Amino acid sequence: MATSKFQALWNHPAGPKTIHFWAPTFKWGISIANIADSTKPPEKVSYPQQIAVTATGVIWSRYSTVITPKNWNLFSVNVAMAATGIYQLTRKIRHDYFSEEQAAVAKE
């Protein structure tokens, strides 16, 4: 029984023998890179890049439910991308716009 389930997955149209599997699987690399970069100082975070990551994540979450074959792997990875993108953006925005206010208030 286990073998036939495994075979069903193995032979799936979005399974490991196809690009439909490996492309989204690799896309996790972007989210992982973003998580690895979450310890970097916010000055090094790039606004254009993180906006691109977030926008891509959001739009592609929708896209992955509309293509043939439907690709839940792609869906989940784009949800994660949007999440890490938003996290990086909030870090940078907080650093750029809110911590300076605190420093200015402290000076007064």
Partner 1 sequence: MLPVEVTWAALCSFSTAPRTNPRLFVQIQEVKVADSMASFKAFLNSPVGPKTTHFWGPVANWGFVIAGLVDMQKPPEMISGNMTGAMCIYSGLFMRFAWMVQPRNYLLLACHASNESVQLYQLSRWAKGQGYLGGEKKGEASSQ
Binding site for partner 1 (CB under 8 A): 18-20, 22-23, 26-27, 29-30, 32-34, 36-37, 40, 44, 46, 48-49, 51-53, 55-56, 58-60, 62-63, 66-69
Q: Which residue has the tokens 């509309």?
A: 66
Residues 6+ apart with CB under 8 A from 82: 53, 54, 56, 57, 58, 61
Of the two residues 48 and 108, which places its CB atom closer to partner 1 in the complex? 48
Of the two residues 9 and 55, which places its CB atom closer to partner 1 in the complex? 55
Instruction: Please answer whether residues 50 and 85 qualify as being in contact, where contact means their C-beta atoms are separated by less than 8 angstroms.
Output: yes
* CB of residue 45 to partner 1, shortest distance in Å: 8
Q: How far apart, in whole angstroms, are the C-alpha atoms of residue 85 and residue 63?
A: 18
Of the two residues 46 and 107, which places its CB atom closer to partner 1 in the complex? 46
